Chain A
Amino acid sequence: MIRLEKRPQPSKAWTVATPILAVILTMIFGGIMFGLIGTSPVEAIRTIFWDPLFHPQFSGFSRPQLLVKAGPLILIAIGLSIGFRAGIWNIGAEGQYIMGAICGAGAGLALYPMESALILPLMVVAGALGGWAWAMIPALLKVKFGTNEILVSLMLVYVAENILASVSSGLLRNPEGMGFPGSRNLSQWSSSQNLELIPNTGMHLGVLAAFIAVILAYVLLTRHIQGYNIRLTGEAPRAAKFSGVSPARTILFCLGLAGALAGMAGLFEVTGPAGQISIDFGSGYGFTAIIVAFLGRLHPVGILLAGLLMALTYIGGELAQLMLGVPGASIQLFQGMLLFFLLGVDVLTNYRVRFGAAEVA
């Protein structure tokens, strides 16, 4: 008989090994899935994981895309992971991302066509504030009324999507756009454009911000009292309360930080790769970032690697759509499977598998 025995401490080795095991399992079962829909499994897996980086023809275009896609994922996932560590489930990052983009773009467009080096920094601050404010709604409701933050933050995603649809055909619509919905192109206005810092690497300000966030999160969680309090709140809420950690302050801090980072990610996206506020601006980064946070074991360095891997499946997925004609949704399923397998094999981190009957205590 197989039994599970709780480890006194989570296994260090398995903490590192489980994400890799999950990726391998996903490749196997994803391969079977591709086989079932009539694509060669080996070719599909190679197109997703290998060709974006090393294909002689496409890698020139897709390699820079890796950082472009990974930047927002990492930035959002870092914010989410800090909340998840404290047991605060903000799953509405998509809404905070959209609201950050709207607020940041709005602040910039209010000054159009002025030229100043201060406009982009102003927009970044406005974007972070927009995301922060949107995340403060579930935070304050939880603190004041004990409302479930999962449901509120998620409902606000649908609200944000409607606001996006409204402003892109109303308030922020390009007056010179001949009536089409969508704002002015921010990546073509020299004061607001967020260009590649190093040509042909995909490295823009948002990616830089993501890397800085990784370092700061690492310092926060391992070297700072606030980070210690957050981890304590997540692992032993009663102990945290007794040692004087205020649950309300932790909720406000975690949700606010996640919101601000998601808002910044939205702003960098709208001034760079996306270029404008339009109805289809929301791209699901906020939801994929949840997978990234878990895949990275809620650890900053892990999230950095997980973000790059997830970006690879995005680009590889697009390539597979183009080359092999696999449906776009299969990539979404692929990403979902990855999260599932990770959660499944995670049991090995916290439990030891024992064979044979239970010992008599």
Chain B
Amino acid sequence: MDLSAINPVLLVASIMISATPILLAAIGEMVVEKSGVLNLGVEGMMITGAVIGFIVAINTGAPLLGFATAAIAGAVLSLAFGVLTQIFLSNQVATGLGLTLVGLGLSSLLGKPYEGQKTVTLPKLDIPILSDLPAVGRMFFSHDIMVYISLGIVVAVWAFLKHTRAGLILRAVGESHESAHALGYKVIRVRMLAIMFGGACAGLGGAYLSLVRVPQWTEGMTAGAGWIALAIVVFASWRAGRVLVGAYLFGGITVLQLNLQAAGLTWGVQYLSMSPYLITILVLVLISSNRSRGSHNAPANLGQTFHATR
């Protein structure tokens, strides 16, 4: 094994690339959970976004259009979840699982003809002056636009939840839907909007996988990224800043693991491949066992069905 083959500058740059899909999905899911809804269908929405984004990009030659369509596709799919859980009052856990199954089936059906094809990917955006800095420039300031958009979304979500009236209403709906309803807020409408925002973010994250990170379409390519995004929301104890930390941490583990394999680590490739999942479990245990910042930060009405009786 030759560890010197791992270039630290490229390593940091590729961590940012590999973290972006889970960051997008996780920040969207965090907003959904803040409104009191547990959508376990992130994986399904991501992979649908991945396939739709890829198809649109390959047919139009415009990756940004692919991203936009992927966001819409994710939102539309999440709308199905929203209608079932909010209007038909179905169980959120079961419906979320169903969404994942539907998304996986739909994506492999739509993506079959596109397997193995190449698409145009997003151009690298060299930020003037900053990208010319030695090392740091390549690490942070020479990425495609989606990396910056994802960071922008995190800041926007933080500001929205903390400093706006609408954000306060969304949090109120998540903490106590009965009280929010009594105050005259439209619980179902707020939750529907949050669910669709989560769907759009998951769609963007999926499209980032198929259009930038890989960039190719293969069946089942998300390989659990949506579930890791869900775990990151718990890891972050429902805070935007910590979602960012969590996503980059997991991106780091994934990249490091791939780099170690590429550097010629011969024993137990499978054991390295399972490491991101094992570390997710480990982190979940550490977070849950820490009473001061663990699951106590969860929105009080997370996963509960709301039915207005009066």
Q: Which residues of A contact B (CB under 8 A)?
A: 4, 6, 37, 89, 91, 137, 141, 144-148, 150-152, 154-156, 158-159, 162-163, 165-166, 287, 290-291, 294, 327-337, 339-340, 343-347, 350-351, 361
Contacts and interface: CB of A to CB of B under 8 A. Distances in A.
Main secondary structure of the interface of A (DSSP, over half): helix
B88 A340 contact: no
B112 A162 contact: no
Contacts of A340: 80, 84, 95, 98-99, 102
Nearest to B235: A151
Given A155-B224, A155-B277, 4 more contacts: A4-B307, A154-B227, A331-B105, A346-B90
B166 interface: no
Contacts of A333: 102, 105-106, 109
Contacts of A150: 40, 93
B9 interface: no
B278 interface: yes
B95 A343 contact: yes
Contacts of B88: 343-347
Contacts of A344: 83-84, 88, 90
A147 B235 CA distance: 11
B288 interface: yes
B280 A155 contact: yes
B93 to A, nearest CB: 5
Interface stretch (B150-158, B208-216, B268-276): B268-276
Which of B99, B104, B107 has the largest count of A CB atoms less than 10 A from its CB? B104
A159 B277 contact: yes
A289 to B, nearest CB: 11
A301 to B, nearest CB: 20
Interface string B86-97: 001111011101
Contacts of B91: 343
B105 A334 contact: yes
Nearest to B294: A146
Given A340-B84, A340-B102, A343-B84, A162 B90 contact: no
Nearest to A345: B88
Contacts of A145: 285, 288-289
A336 B227 contact: no
The 4 A-B residue pairs whose C-beta atoms are closest, nearest first, are A333-B105, A332-B105, A329-B108, A336-B102
Interface of B: 40, 80, 83-84, 88-91, 93-95, 97-99, 101-109, 112, 219, 223-224, 227, 230-231, 234, 268, 270-271, 273-274, 277-278, 280-281, 284-285, 288-289, 294-295, 307, 309-310
Nearest to A147: B288
A158 B90 contact: no
B244 to A, nearest CB: 20
Nearest to B93: A89
A343 B285 contact: no
Contact of A332 (B93, B101, B284, B310): B101
A155 B40 CA distance: 14
Given A145-B288, A347-B90, A159 B104 contact: no
Contacts of A89: 93
Contact of B94 (A156, A163, A339, A347): A339
B310 A361 contact: yes
A339 B101 contact: yes
A166 B271 contact: yes
B234 A151 contact: yes
Given A6-B309, A329-B112, A347-B89, A159 B106 contact: no
A144 B281 CA distance: 14
Contacts of B103: 336
A137 B280 CA distance: 14
A351 B87 CA distance: 12
Given A151-B280, A155-B277, A4 B89 contact: yes
Contacts of A156: 277, 281
A152 B288 CA distance: 12
Contacts of A330: 105, 109
A166 B89 CA distance: 43
Contacts of B90: 343-344, 346-347
Contacts of B107: 329
Nearest to A339: B98
Contact of A162 (B99, B230, B234, B270): B270
Given A162-B270, A333-B109, A148 B284 contact: yes
B40 to A, nearest CB: 7
A151 B271 CA distance: 20
B101 A335 contact: yes
Nearest to B268: A166
Which of B224, B271, B274, B294 has the largest count of A CB atoms less than 10 A from its CB? B274
Contacts of A155: 224, 227, 231, 277-278, 280-281
A327 B284 contact: no
Which of A151, A163, A165 has the largest count of B CB atoms less than 10 A from its CB? A151
A125 to B, nearest CB: 27
B281 A162 contact: no
7 contacts: A148-B295, A152-B281, A155-B231, A335-B101, A337-B102, A343-B88, A343-B95
A327 B108 contact: yes
Given A343-B90, A343-B95, A162 B273 contact: yes
A294 B288 contact: no
Nearest to A87: B93
